């Protein structure tokens, strides 16, 4: 077992044990904090499939996060107002059921990722970064102008949505759901990295000419990766909306897209647990430095600058040593 | 719908487009010569606006405010180039994005620390306030007209700088081949600092000029930054001409879209629904424009490199 | 005369005023090695790019196995049976040697969207990849990171990836580039045996290798084929000696 695997297991153990302890000690706020960290981790794990393996620096992943959030918001809004979503040509009702909401969130964000990918993956490098950022802003302004669903103010959902057999209002139960989603996504990410698709996508990042020369199309590989990546980030968005029982255009904001990338880098690029470590660290720092100084973003910016300029490899690189090629 | 309204909106579009050009020109120049994507360009726009507002408030002179904006933004640009940016030229785009994202955090929060969260106000100078009557009897704010003319003058100056001066030769050489300018005996480090400071000064100038008609506040730079990205994606990265054409296209589309799309929809929809649909669509119009250009020409209207 | 496996008909490509290829018609028949030689800037790279599909010709056709593939992109031509090697190694340096050949095997298999089972536990992929490494003598380095290979080993790996495709024709862009005398000799021996499996269009600067291997040689100068024939024909050709060989032999 490598040091990195050991470290990953330790992180996972912490994610199970800490909230359990908080539950027993009756500190619901700590559980909420952990839930936030786990959901942001999930969003960044989604991005990491496109960025880490495929090298796609998407600065617009908040789009999918926001779409997932609005999928939840819209369905629950219609359900709580007993107002069907549409009546013709066929009836669609709102819902308060998490599995249905998740399905809608995943499908909608995957579709958005497919369309944005079709347009933006025609380009590469700095064009791709700018275009994904621009599409993110497009969704942001669209959400602001969409007054039927709250416009700039967003919408509140009064009661957290339900999951069969669980009481999602109990913080630790909702946390469990979120953690399960994260673990599944990590498992999928780990499998994908070693799979045929991962092999081809990883090569398409490094030597696209070679990938073409063996008969594979880098564009299609990237498009599939981008779509899956968007879908997972979309699921995180739906969970995030349920955590806050609130959605607003800020879920689409470009700062959030930037933060997702930051999570991955702080944790360590191309590391399975990189986004998790980065997101958890971010939430912890935000909470503690934020409590100590009103201007915590300065310190965070300096930390980030330091990591980018001098500390390549992120936290996991620091702890677990150089990455190895998986054989 | 009158001709006057159409003309007035056209001028508004021109005005926002030409200000956008000041932002986009610096970005595209910096990318073209140094290969750097700079997210913190919006922060320099903000720095310019804050310098102008502070100096104008202290001295009572708008002109001194503009001088302060140019000097402050150029100094901030030169400083971050020397301390941070030059370490990024050899890095990949991901590192550039992250480091300049960090700079945004530092600039924004630092400004909030010093100036607080409330917006500052920068007043339009007395001599330029009020409307002016244009040929055809159209009343138009003199200050906005001045912005258009000033922006055009800067654009002409920039084209002259690049086409006719020694430093312009070096810039054009730098776009093609770094080794060549080194062989010409040019001090690349100094050239890069100069270009970065020049781009910063243009951004700061735009921030100060626009700051007088909008408010001067933390976070004002990023929406403009993203519009400037859209602009250079449309125009073609690295092309100043593309930045000008792209900026005017974006400025006009954005302004005219928000006025005329709701009107257009009223022709065949109920007024309330038309206003809603028109507003939603016009908020997306420039991005749709960008998407169309991308489908047609993935490297932008004037972009050469892939 | 046997039907050509690979053939170009009147290929042209101009970059501005520079005519990089000018009416190039060459063919590659089963079992042969056809060498393309010519001075730097003669249009060899442009020709390879047009044959492989990276560059669309201004005029002319590329035929593979009797089928017109001129309109197909690189990846479709590869699937149709064209395997190329690169002058500058195109290898995933972060990955292991085995992963690089496995990519070729995966391309040959053509199902790249499996996301759950590990690629290297797929018997078909692994066998094909290991067989190719075995043939070029890199079996011992399979687990090494590609960045750790020597230059000569990378050139071999470059050929091994092409082998995994089991193609109808090879197009090799200066496979000997940067190899020492011994390395060139080894690779020459290997290519000599390879022509029985599939014919090779060989662009090469190493004249010893060309004269040892080629069944036919075509000489490209300023984008035009100025001579074509056996090694003996080319050696005797006045125009070729003037244009090209004169200063070397």
Kindly report the CATH number assigned to the domain that includes residue A257.
1.10.3470
Instruction: Give B59's contacts (C-beta < 8 A, 6+ positions apart).
Output: B65
Q: What is the mean pLDDT of residues A168-190?
A: 96
* pLDDT confidence bin for A218, thresholds 50/70/90: very high
Inspect the interface and report whether the beta carbons of A137 and B226 lie closer than 8 Å.
yes
- By the 8 A CB rule, do C127 and C135 touch? no
> A130–B106: do the CB atoms touch at under 8 Å?
no
As a whole number, mean pLDDT of residues A51-55 equals 93
- Using a CB-CB cut-off of 8 Å, the residues of chain A touching B280 are 142, 145-146
Please tell me the least confidently modeled range out of A89-98, A269-278, C23-32, C180-189. Answer: A89-98
| Contact of A85 with A93, CB cutoff 8 Å | yes
> Rounded to an integer, what distance in angstroms lies between the CA atom of residue B2 and that of residue B256?
14
Position A83 pLDDT exceeds 50: yes
Domain boundaries, chain C: 1-81+169-249, 91-166
Q: Do chains C and A touch (3 or more CB pairs under 8 A)?
A: yes
Crossing angle (nearest 10°) for helices B271-296 and A125-145: 180
**DSSP annotation of C116:** S
Q: Which chains touch B (3 or more CB pairs under 8 A)?
A: A
pLDDT at C86 over 50: yes
Question: What pLDDT score does C126 carry?
Answer: 95
Best interface-test mutation with A: which of B106, B246, B275, B281 has the largest number of A CBs within 10 A? B106
Chain C residue with minimal CA distance to A196? C119
Q: Residues of A with CB below 8 A from C76's CB? A: 215
Query: Is residue A311 classed as helix, strand or coil in its secondary structure?
Result: coil
Least Cα separation, residue A17 to chain C (angstroms):
29
**With an 8 Å Cβ cutoff, are A210 and C113 in contact?**
no
- How many Å apart are CA B79 and CA B193, to the nearest integer? 9
The region, left, alpha or beta by phi > 0 then psi within -120 to 50, assigned to residue A165 is: left
Instruction: Give residue A231's domain range.
Output: 3-320
Least-confidence region, from A197-211, B129-143, B150-164, C125-139? B129-143
Please state the φ and ψ torsions of residue B212, each to the nearest 5 degrees: -75, -20
Chain A residues with CB-CB distance to C94 below 8 A? 202, 206, 325
Cβ contact (<8 Å) for A325 and C94? yes
Alpha carbon distance B22, C86 (integer Å): 44
A214 part of a folded domain: yes
Is any Cβ of chain A less than 8 angstroms from the Cβ of C92? Answer: yes
Provide the shortest C-alpha distance from residue B121 to chain A (in Å). 23
Q: Which helix (H) or strand (E) holds C60?
A: strand C59-64
Note the pLDDT of residue C245. Answer: 58
pLDDT digits (tens, 9 = 90+) for B249-274: 999 999 998 888 888 888 888 888 88
Confidence category of residue C2, pLDDT binned at 50, 70, 90: low
Chain A residues touching residue B98 (CB < 8 angstroms): 261-262, 265, 304, 308
Structure confidence at residue A255 (pLDDT): 93
Q: For residue A326, what pLDDT is reported? A: 43
Counting beta carbons within 10 angstroms of the beta carbon of residue C96, is it exposed (0 to 12), middle (13 to 18) or buried (19 or more)? buried
Q: Give the number of domains in chain B.
A: 1
φ and ψ at residue B252, rounded to 5 degrees: -70, -45
Residue B165 belongs to domain spanning: 12-219
* 3-state SS, residue A4: helix
CB within 8 Å of A160: residues ≥ 6 apart: A168, A169, A174, A242, A245
What is the secondary structure of C194-214 as a DSSP string? HTTTS-EEEE-S-HHHHHHH-
- Rounded Cα distance between A244 and A156, Å, is 9
The answer to whether C179 and A229 are in contact (CB under 8 A) is no
Residues of chain B with pLDDT under 50: 305-306
B276, A122: Cβ pair inside 8 Å? Answer: no
Q: Which of A172, A173, A143 is nearest to A70 (CA)?
A: A143
Q: In this complex, do B230 and A134 lie within 8 Å of one another by their Cβ atoms? A: yes
Peptide bond into A89 cis (omega under 30): yes
Asked if residue A327 belongs to a domain, the reply is: no
Residue A325 has pLDDT above 70, yes or no: no
What helix, strand, coil percent values describe chain A, rounded to 5? 75, 5, 20
If one looks up domain C1-81+169-249 in CATH, what number appears? Answer: 3.40.50.300
Q: Round the average pLDDT of chain C to a whole number and report it.
A: 91
Query: C40-57: per-residue pLDDT in tens?
Result: 888 899 999 999 999 999
Average pLDDT over residues C150-161: 94
A58 within a domain of the structure (yes/no): yes
CA B22 to chain A, closest CA, distance in angstroms equals 18
Residue B67 maps to a domain: yes
Tell me what pLDDT residue C26 has: 94
Number of domains in chain A: 1
Reduced 3-state DSSP string for chain A: CCHHHHHHHHHHHHHHHHHHHHHHCCCHHHHHHHHHHHHHHHHHHHHHHHHHHCCCCCCCCHHHHHHHHHHHHHHHHHHHCCCCCECCCCCECCCCEHHHHHHHHHHHHHHHHHHHHHHHCCCCHHHHHHHHHHHHHHHHHHHHHCHHHCHHHCEECCCCCEECCECCCCHHHHHHHHHHHHHHHHHHHHHHHHEHHHHHHHHHHHCHHHHHHCCCCHHHHHHHHHHHHHHHHHHHHHHHHHHHCEECHHHHCHHHHHHHHHHHHHHCCCCCCHHHHHHHHHHHHHHHHHHHCCCHHHHHHHHHHHHHHCCCCHHHHHHHCCCCCCC
Is residue B81 a part of any domain in this protein?
Answer: yes
Confidence category of residue A327, pLDDT binned at 50, 70, 90 = very low
For position C115, what pLDDT does the model report? Answer: 92
Maximum CA extent, chain B = 68
The verdict on residue A325 lying in a domain is no
CB C223 within 8 A of CB C43: yes
């Amino acid at each position: 077992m490598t040091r990195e695997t050991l470290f990953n297991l330790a992180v996972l153990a912490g994610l199970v044990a800490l909230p359990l302890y908080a539950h027993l000690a009756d500190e619901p706020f700590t559980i909420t904090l952990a839930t936030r960290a786990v959901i942001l981790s999930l969003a960044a794990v989604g991005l990491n499939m496109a960025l880490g393996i495929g090298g796609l620096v998407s600065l617009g992943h908040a789009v999918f996060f926001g779409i997932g959030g609005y999928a939840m918001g819209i369905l629950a809004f219609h359900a709580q107002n007993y107002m069907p979503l549409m009546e013709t040509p066929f009836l669609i009702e709102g819902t308060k059921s998490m599995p249905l909401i998740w399905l809608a969130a995943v499908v909608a964000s995957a579709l958005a990722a497919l369309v944005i990918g079709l347009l933006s993956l025609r380009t590469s490098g700095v064009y791709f970064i700018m275009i994904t950022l621009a599409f993110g802003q497009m969704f942001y302004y669209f959400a602001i102008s969409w007054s039927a669903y709250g416009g700039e103010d967003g919408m509140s959902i009064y009661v957290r949505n339900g999951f069969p057999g669980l009481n999602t209002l109990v913080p630790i139960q909702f946390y469990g759901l979120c953690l399960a989603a994260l673990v599944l996504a990590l498992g999928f990410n780990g499998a994908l990295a070693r799979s045929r698709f991962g092999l081809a996508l990883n090569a398409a990042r490094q030597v696209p000419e070679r990938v073409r020369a063996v008969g594979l199309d880098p564009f299609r590989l990237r498009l599939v990766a981008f779509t899956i990546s968007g879908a997972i980030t979309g699921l995180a968005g739906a969970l995030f909306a349920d955590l806050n029982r609130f959605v607003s255009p800020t879920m689409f904001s470009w700062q959030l897209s930037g933060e997702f990338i930051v999570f991955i880098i702080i944790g360590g690029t191309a590391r399975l647990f990189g986004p998790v470590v980065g997101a958890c660290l971010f939430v912890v720092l935000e909470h503690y430095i934020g409590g100590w100084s009103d201007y915590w973003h300065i310190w965070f910016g300096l930390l980030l600058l330091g990591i980018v300029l001098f500390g390549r490899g992120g936290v996991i690189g620091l702890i677990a040593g150089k990455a190895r090629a998986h054989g | 719908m009158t001709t006057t309204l159409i003309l007035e909106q056209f001028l508004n579009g021109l005005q926002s487009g030409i200000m956008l050009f000041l932002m986009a020109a610096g970005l595209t120049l910096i990318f073209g010569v140094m290969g750097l994507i700079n997210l913190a360009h919006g922060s320099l726009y903000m720095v310019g606006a804050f310098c102008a507002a502070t100096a104008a408030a202290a001295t009572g002179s708008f002109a001194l405010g503009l001088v302060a904006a140019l000097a402050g933004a150029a100094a901030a640009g030169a400083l971050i180039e020397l301390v941070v940016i030059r370490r990024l030229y050899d890095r990949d785009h991901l590192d550039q994005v992250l480091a300049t994202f960090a700079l945004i955090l530092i600039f924004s929060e630092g400004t909030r620390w010093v100036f607080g969260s409330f917006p500052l106000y920068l007043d339009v100078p007395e001599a330029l306030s009020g409307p002016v009557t244009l040929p055809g009897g159209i009343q138009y704010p003199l200050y906005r007209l001045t912005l258009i003319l000033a922006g055009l003058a800067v654009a002409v100056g920039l084209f002259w700088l690049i086409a006719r001066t020694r430093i312009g030769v070096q810039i054009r050489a730098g776009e093609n081949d770094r080794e060549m300018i080194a062989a010409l005996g040019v001090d690349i480090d100094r050239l890069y600092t100069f270009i970065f400071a020049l781009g910063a000064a243009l951004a700061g100038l735009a921030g100060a000029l626009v700051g007088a008609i909008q408010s001067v506040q933390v976070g004002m730079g990023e929406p403009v930054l993203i519009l400037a990205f859209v602009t250079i994606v449309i125009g073609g990265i690295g092309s100043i001409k593309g930045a000008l054409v792209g900026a005017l296209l974006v400025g006009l589309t954005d302004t005219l879209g928000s006025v005329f799309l709701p009107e257009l929809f009223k022709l065949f929809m109920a007024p309330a629904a038309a206003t809603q649909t028109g507003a939603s669509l016009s908020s997306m119009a420039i991005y749709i424009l960008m998407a169309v250009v991308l489908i047609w020409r993935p490297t932008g209207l004037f972009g050469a490199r892939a | 005369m046997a039907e050509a496996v690979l053939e170009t008909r009147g290929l042209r490509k101009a970059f501005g005023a520079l005519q990089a290829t000018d009416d190039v018609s060459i063919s590659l028949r089963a079992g042969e090695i056809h060498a393309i030689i010519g001075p730097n800037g003669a249009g060899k790279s442009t020709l390879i790019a047009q044959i492989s599909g990276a560059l669309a010709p201004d005029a002319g056709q590329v035929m593979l196995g009797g089928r017109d593939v001129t309109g197909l992109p690189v990846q479709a031509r590869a699937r149709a049976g064209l395997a190329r090697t690169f002058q500058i190694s195109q290898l995933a340096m972060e990955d292991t040697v085995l992963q690089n050949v496995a990519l070729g095997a995966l391309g040959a298999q053509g199902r790249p969207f499996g996301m759950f089972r590990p690629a290297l536990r797929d018997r078909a992929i692994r066998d094909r990849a290991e067989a190719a490494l075995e043939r070029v003598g890199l079996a011992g380095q399979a687990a090494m990171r590609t960045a750790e290979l020597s230059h000569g080993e990378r050139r071999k790996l470059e050929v091994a990836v092409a082998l995994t495709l089991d193609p109808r024709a090879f197009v090799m862009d200066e496979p000997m580039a940067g190899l020492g005398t011994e390395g060139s000799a080894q690779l020459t021996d290997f290519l000599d045996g390879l022509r029985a499996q599939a014919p090779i269009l060989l662009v090469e600067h190493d004249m010893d290798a060309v004269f040892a291997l080629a069944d036919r040689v075509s000489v490209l100068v300023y984008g035009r084929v100025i001579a074509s024939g056996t090694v003996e024909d080319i050696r005797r050709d006045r125009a070729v000696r003037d244009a090209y060989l004169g200063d070397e032999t």
